[in-house]
Amino acid sequence: MEHRDTDIGHIVSIEGGIVDIRFPEGRLPSISSRLLTLSEPEISIEVASLPSSDTVRGLVLNPTPDLRLGLAVRDTGQAITVPVGDALLGRMFNLFGDPIDGGELLDDMRRKPILRDPVPLSRRRVESALFETGIKAIDLLSPIERGDKAGLFGGAGVGKTVLITEMIHNMVAEYHGVSLFCGIGERCREAEELYREMRDAGVLENTVMVFGQMNESPGVRFRVGHAALTMAEYFRDERRRDVLVLIDNIFRFVQAGAEVSGLLGRIPSRVGYQPTLGTELADLEERICSTEQGAMTSIQAVYVPADDLTDPAATHTFAHLSASIVLSRKKASEGLYPAIDPLRSFSRLLTPGAVSEQHYRVARDVRNTLSEYEDLKDIIAMLGFEELSEKDRATVRQARQLERFLTQPFFSTEAMTGNKGRFVPLEETLTSCRRILSGEFRYRDESDFYMIGGVDDLPAREATNAA
């Protein structure tokens, strides 16, 4: 391919993952342009800033040992692009839209830039419809809204990835739209396992997977979410299909932004994060919305550093979500999985009118019972259970039964636990909770409610124990 000399620059400085490239006067590439080195293999560089009239500063996206001073670089004249089209379905890609599943290349497909403006407010559509996951604790206390965003918040090792894998299993199988999974800064092992599980489950043909892994440069991890959303927007806007976007993990996007900011020499803001944290997160999150063409629903895992929900990464993410599902290390240590904290999780959908009257009332009563039990724990620890009034004892019994009832065997952990996974419809969850709250099972041991589906499973379990 012929290149004009005026489009060619040369690397004059290399520092970490940042390079300075000098171009002829007046021929500077624009910010966010993709530059390619005239080497084999090509090295991609994204323009991040313009420090002087003849120099650009860029992020090296795929560094190789060939990167050196004096290396010639050409301006492509456009931002990073990814392929769009139905041929994406069933495939796994990297930031540049190159397949990483060993399949054939998609060279002849139409491509679109990964950086796009969000849909204007006048073209957005809001619908308050519940997106059923089959997971009792989520559907009851933090229902997910179709066409909006939900987050799974938790520290390391409390079950975020397992929970999002279970949602993929439950929802993608029942979901008639397109599913798009975006892995940001996660482990290669998890990507490979997820691909294999979705292939074995027979849901891969309606799924696109995009990965920017933990071992890749911060620039790749920072941009892979935008690449995934460009592919998702194609299915929503041009194919008029509903899209389910699953992201694991939004914190790694924030972390990559902090690394990029540090490399560019910006002064850190609160707790060492980049000063542009709020804007960068909004640029990504605001693209996830529903229009007349189709609904885009997103479920995102959010790592919480040191379990501190006041961390700026967590608080900025909270602001964009309609439902926040908070995972508790204390519940995980007690073996109550999924380790969802019912008192800290919330959903904007859980209001009268948005959900049924029965759902709102049962969810409120469950939360009140668990809250009263939380208040009584100190008294029980100091004086003992026997010192409580009869009413308080009944509350504690119901709360302990509810805590265990809200655990659930997962399809994604069958091989490890030996328990067969259960998808529990919302109606069954509501009926079961109502029966527990009515005192129908006051003489049943709380352990009977652990890892069951609905309360209709109780007699069968009792017979098994007796045998």
Catalytic position from the list 34, 146, 160, 397: 160
Q: Is 187 a catalytic residue?
A: yes
Task: Write the burial class of residue 129 (CB in 10 Å: 0-12 exposed, 13-18 middle, 19+ buried).
Answer: middle
Cβ atoms 171, 138 nearer than 8 A: no
Q: Is 391 a catalytic residue?
A: no
Rounded Cα distance between 95 and 228, Å, is: 8
Locate 264 and state its tokens. Answer: 């560019």
Is the preceding peptide bond at 338 cis, omega within 30 degrees of 0? yes
Cβ atoms 187, 253 nearer than 8 A: no
Q: Which region holds residue 60: left if phi is over 0, alpha if psi is between -120 and 50, else beta? A: beta
Catalytic position from the list 186, 259, 285, 403: 186
Task: Provide the 3-class DSSP secondary structure of residue 177.
Answer: coil
According to DSSP, the residues that pair with 83 across neighbouring strands are 111
Q: Is 160 a catalytic residue?
A: yes
Cα-based torsion angle of the residue sequence 278, 279, 284, 289 in order, rounded to the nearest 10 degrees:
90
Task: Provide the 3-class DSSP secondary structure of residue 466.
Answer: helix
| Best CA proximity match to 129, nearest among 428, 360, 355, 430 | 355
Per DSSP, 351 falls in state: S
Per DSSP, 170 falls in state: I
Locate 82 and state its tokens. Answer: 């990814």
Catalytic residues: 160, 186-187
